[in-house]
Amino acid sequence: MADNMQRSIRLLQDPLKFMRIRADCNRMHTFGRVRHGGTRVHQGWDLEAKVNTPIYAVSDGTIDYASSVDAGDYGKQIRLKFYYGPKTYYAFYAHLSHVSVKQGDEVKQGDEIGRTGKTGNASNLAASEEHLHFEIRTEPTPGLGLGGRVDPATMFAGRAPCSPRYEQGGALGAKQEAVINF
């Protein structure tokens, strides 16, 4: 039997200990054409997180970019380059209050790399709206729209942060193995 491109790979670690889409799992805070009646996109997940909540490396990898400057829409931010099966991806964490890593750092899956916050265009949000903006990218600096990004749900082996399983305890993917078809 020829190689059917099945490989055993380590699933991703959740970026937060408690994973839930903000605003009571409102679909507009998931990935896709989910805003303004489908005319505008959201490029990742907005996950509930009080300011100063630890964030974790979703995989072993290299810090591709890190900024402790509160500027632009994303504010303080971290981009982690990692391999998933045969491909390179970038996990992107935005609106942070604290960045614990610098460009070029090697990290291990599950390492704490910073803390959530309200920087960038999240600065005026109410306490009830505090969140982590989290993306999975296929290129480091994609433009507007959905190009250069994938739905995080596809990278977390079908787990979604509004499912009952998540509410029972987070971090289900850590240190598990799975067979994924590429």
Instruction: Give the tokens for residue 80.
Output: 């982690």
Q: Which of 40, 29, 94 is nearest to 67 (CA)?
A: 94
Rounded to whole angstroms, the Cα distance separating 18 from 56 reads: 11
Q: Does 46 engage in binding with Zn ion (CB under 5 A)?
A: yes
Cβ nearer to Zn ion, comparing 11 with 48 = 48
Name the minimum Å distance from CB 85 to Zn ion.
26
Least Å distance, CB 118 to Zn ion, is: 12
Shortest reach from residue 27's CB to Zn ion, in Å? 13
Nearest to 97 by CA among 63, 64, 130, 48: 130
Choosing from 133, 152, 166, 173, the residue that interacts with Zn ion (CB under 5 A) is 133
DSSP letters of 86-147? TEEEEEEEEEEEEE---TT-EE-TT-EEEEE---GGGTT--GGG-EEEEEEESSSS--SSST
Show contacts with Zn ion in window 63-92 (CB under 5 A): none
Query: 180: buried, middle or exposed (CB in 10 Å: 19+, 13-18, 0-12)?
Result: middle
Residue 46 or residue 130: which is nearer to Zn ion going by CB? 46
Segment near Zn ion (CB under 5 A), from 17-25, 40-48, 80-88, 159-167?
A: 40-48
Nearest CB to Zn ion, comparing residues 76 and 133: 133
Closest distance of CB 40 from Zn ion, Å: 12
Binding site for Zn ion (CB under 5 A): 46, 133
